[in-house]
Chain A
């Protein structure tokens, strides 16, 4: 079932390419249908595959036998969690881009190609295959932004593409080095993870691969692609970028860098923990002073992804499962926030300047958007009842065990997070009507059904996980007992 998440996406791409150019509506329907199939496959797979504390094999074929490279798909709880996230984000993204008319079929073709690549990364257990899927996502990202984007789209798109490419080049070198050191016989993740790489090798290979992946997860100080890229991207693309593409980086860091090089991880734990905390606090502080609505959300993504990276660096079970849960949670919440900013507000008001929005009295003009954004910000601040709370709490507990100072600093980051979300909430939707302000009230088109459904999907997901986190934690926590993490247990004391 699960491999069909990948295949259906690429079948969708082919179907879209065969459509006549004018059929924007048909393109949307095909895309939505494909994304729904992906989501159903993902959910069915998550229920069907009882990964538990092992890795569930899905598909293994010889691909390049002379180099020991296989077409090898498998899943554990972590993959399942992220595959489900991808399914949800994909459907929501399409619902939020229902108004795309300009070259719609190409838009959705790139969109589905990106989704297919993302599914592929989460399910690959052969490093070469994983890398191929990882790189596959670069070109669609570039086009989605460069063609359909807004503010400084060429700059944002190229910056994003180059950052991703630098990161993946670093990863590639690290992977080839690991492959060669281990005897150039296999690219199998589980086998390589159990190979005892010499410590001196791990000391430089770990940072290389980790940073290579973490660039895409917005690791400070390599995060600068994220705000510009998110702002330049069209709504659906920024939902995907923040929602799942950044998770690719974090996932790769955990799945590849950490499991392959536990000794390197141990040596670099404090420096990278520090960078993660810096990202949390820095992202939040910068978000506090932005005047562009979308930049606030962009920097908030940097800050929240800092929690994921901090959770990874704790190297204890609470922190790690918190990190994975935070990936899921942030994927949903960031998607929601970008959906509100990009689709519900910007497409209607054609401005994202908070100062301009302040005068528009949006809470009365588009109340559904106001409520959605209220829910999303509350979830983003980490209030109990939503997924962000459980995830960030776990990360904080884990950090407290590993490095209390960083834990406290991350706590400060949460407080600043409350501040910038409240500021934005007040300025964007709930400002007092300024005297002489524009009466925009009745000219805005009302929120469409597609948007309502998309927003409800994301809000509901965050709420369900917030109220009953065991749904995911039961998947995630046992995965850390799988053979894949043996090295991490022995080498880094997980």
Chain B
């Protein structure tokens, strides 16, 4: 038992508790600023995580918990995302009637759940960490108690999330029933024997359903647009980045370190899911007028692109997912930060609310446009290189699996469709007739800093991808590919 391995998680939980406690002594007008303290604390933990090394995998809690390169990569990812989301929440604070400190604390608890998920090496930890994430998100989505949309989002997320959790836990029970273990390392040894039993496969499929819900993959994507639209903007951002990435790390762990022998037979299934997810997300995004809802559909599409990397079943594919997530992190956070600032007092989050944004605040306009262009996958921004790596991985797979070429055609179709609606947003920003509101928007300095950081990262990852590619390649060595 080696508790020191999970020091980062404990630090996050401790900081979250400290925020809750500090709330008791903080006068009401100052409560908002607790968010900056939270962001600073998480930022420090992020910097501390940079000092950690994970050359060889180290285990804790009876091998339930693993700290390897992959886990560390994702922990840093989640920590960085949480910093930006917390800064965003401070900006959002005046739209939340009461309990802003709890909002910050819940974000940090969700963060802890994600960080545990990154290290999951046992189905029990998978379930527990996912529940920690999901249950906190039930609250986070419906935090604006006065808004009907927010409540609706919360209820939808609760019902469908509970259903997905039920699938997951039922699947885990079946797996345990056959294999007599929930540990990934032991499962790998017994999987070949157990895989003869259909009940075992059924159990794994149910686990996949539960994870598919997390990443919003077709056909478990139904909740995403409604929840994205109704939730407070910082929640949506964290859902889009953190929750999705947590789903992917768990998916990678389950598929490629628990049952790699079985996963090999599921190539076609994964390919179909990837293709359908891409098409569904992109096609449904076309007619959307609500910016958050549009990003909800686009996040489904991006889950589809990342599933390409899973379906490729090679280390190129998995490292491409990691790279893609890195690019997606900065891009989506930039977009949601802008939405959070601009949509103040706007009901409906309609795209027309960003009309003429370039006159109101050039920085916000540039950030949102660059985010859209990066999501569309146009160089020299980060999104392009991610797609390049994913496509390359699938093409490599194509040598043995000719169906991959169809998948590529579908992916390309999706990318082309997506250009249409992303450019629509950019067009609204720079060029639209009759925008009602033209007053300047004040952007606070922490928001400015996070936007500049996101923009710089988008360009850096797009222009100098080598470093992150190497890190990602190193990280996926933890998987049995």
**Cα separation A67 to B467 with both chains bound (whole Å):** 11
Chain B 445-465 near chain A by CB (<8 Å), digits 1 or 0: 000000000000000000001
**Cα separation A199 to B35 with both chains bound (whole Å):** 62
- Nearest-CB distance from B421 to chain A (Å)? 11
A180 touches B430 (CB 8 A): no
Please report which residues of chain B, range 353-398, place their CB below 8 angstroms from some CB of chain A when the two chains form the complex.
373, 378-380, 384, 388, 391-392, 395-396, 398
A162 touches B392 (CB 8 A): no
B419 touches A180 (CB 8 A): no
**Cα separation A147 to B429 with both chains bound (whole Å):** 12
Majority DSSP secondary structure for residues of A touching B:
helix
A139 touches B378 (CB 8 A): yes
A173 touches B427 (CB 8 A): no
Check A146/B431 contact, CB under 8 A, given A138-B378, A169-B415.
Answer: yes
- Nearest-CB distance from A167 to chain B (Å)? 10
A66 touches B427 (CB 8 A): no
Chain B 162-202 near chain A by CB (<8 Å), digits 1 or 0: 00000000000000000000000000000000000000000
Q: Is A195 an interface residue (CB 8 A)?
A: no
- Nearest-CB distance from A397 to chain B (Å)? 39
Contact partner of A172 (CB less than 8 A), chosen from B388, B465, B466, B473, is: B388
Contact partner of A136 (CB less than 8 A), chosen from B379, B412, B419, B465, is: B379
Q: Is A468 an interface residue (CB 8 A)?
A: no
**Cα separation A180 to B427 with both chains bound (whole Å):** 37
A162 touches B419 (CB 8 A): yes
- Nearest-CB distance from B468 to chain A (Å)? 10
- Nearest-CB distance from A46 to chain B (Å)? 27
Q: Is A165 an interface residue (CB 8 A)?
A: yes
Chain A 98-132 near chain B by CB (<8 Å), digits 1 or 0: 00000000000000000000000000000010011
Q: Is A135 an interface residue (CB 8 A)?
A: yes
A132 touches B380 (CB 8 A): yes
B419 touches A165 (CB 8 A): yes
B416 touches A135 (CB 8 A): no
Residues from chain B with a CB closer than 8 A to the CB of A147 are 430-431
- Nearest-CB distance from B410 to chain A (Å)? 12
Residues from chain A with a CB closer than 8 A to the CB of B373 are 139
| Closest B residue, CB atoms, query A178 | B395
**Cα separation A138 to B426 with both chains bound (whole Å):** 14
A63 touches B379 (CB 8 A): no
A64 touches B391 (CB 8 A): no
Contact partner of A132 (CB less than 8 A), chosen from B379, B408, B412, B415, is: B379
Q: Is A444 an interface residue (CB 8 A)?
A: no
Residues from chain A with a CB closer than 8 A to the CB of B469 are 64, 66-67
Q: Is B470 an interface residue (CB 8 A)?
A: yes
B391 touches A172 (CB 8 A): yes
**Cα separation A64 to B392 with both chains bound (whole Å):** 15
Residues from chain B with a CB closer than 8 A to the CB of A166 are 416
Check A173/B395 contact, CB under 8 A, given A66-B466, A143-B430, A161-B423.
Answer: yes
Please report which residues of chain B, range 397-444, place their CB below 8 angstroms from some CB of chain A when the two chains form the complex.
398-399, 408, 412, 415-416, 419-420, 423, 427, 430-431
A162 touches B416 (CB 8 A): yes
Q: Is A210 an interface residue (CB 8 A)?
A: no
Check A179/B466 contact, CB under 8 A, given A135-B379, A173-B412.
Answer: no
| Closest A residue, CB atoms, query B369 | A139
Q: Is A1 an interface residue (CB 8 A)?
A: no
B391 touches A173 (CB 8 A): yes
Residues from chain A with a CB closer than 8 A to the CB of B388 are 128, 172, 176
Chain A 324-353 near chain B by CB (<8 Å), digits 1 or 0: 000000000000000000000000000000
**Cα separation A165 to B373 with both chains bound (whole Å):** 13
Chain A 46-69 near chain B by CB (<8 Å), digits 1 or 0: 000000000000000001111100
Q: Is A393 an interface residue (CB 8 A)?
A: no
**Cα separation A65 to B391 with both chains bound (whole Å):** 19
**Cα separation A169 to B410 with both chains bound (whole Å):** 11
B420 touches A162 (CB 8 A): yes
Most B Cβ at <10 Å: residue of A139, A165, A177, A184: A165
| Closest A residue, CB atoms, query B462 | A132
- Nearest-CB distance from B379 to chain A (Å)? 4
Residues from chain B with a CB closer than 8 A to the CB of A447 are none
**Cα separation A184 to B320 with both chains bound (whole Å):** 15
**Cα separation A64 to B470 with both chains bound (whole Å):** 10
Q: Is A494 an interface residue (CB 8 A)?
A: no
- Nearest-CB distance from B41 to chain A (Å)? 35
**Cα separation A177 to B405 with both chains bound (whole Å):** 10
Q: Is A356 an interface residue (CB 8 A)?
A: no
**Cα separation A173 to B384 with both chains bound (whole Å):** 13
A142 touches B423 (CB 8 A): yes
Check A184/B396 contact, CB under 8 A, given A63-B466, A142-B423, A147-B430.
Answer: yes
A176 touches B378 (CB 8 A): no
**Cα separation A135 to B385 with both chains bound (whole Å):** 12
Q: Is A158 an interface residue (CB 8 A)?
A: yes
**What are 20 contact pairs spanning A and B, CB under 8 A?**
A64-B465, A64-B466, A65-B466, A66-B466, A66-B470, A67-B469, A128-B388, A132-B379, A147-B430, A158-B420, A166-B416, A170-B412, A172-B391, A173-B395, A176-B391, A176-B392, A177-B398, A179-B392, A180-B392, A180-B395
- Other than the given A162-B420, A169-B412, 8 more pairs (CB < 8 A) read A64-B465, A67-B469, A135-B384, A139-B378, A172-B388, A173-B395, A176-B391, A177-B395
Residues of chain A having any CB pair with chain B under 8 Å: 63-67, 128, 131-132, 135-136, 138-139, 142-143, 146-147, 154, 158, 161-162, 165-166, 169-170, 172-173, 176-177, 179-180, 184
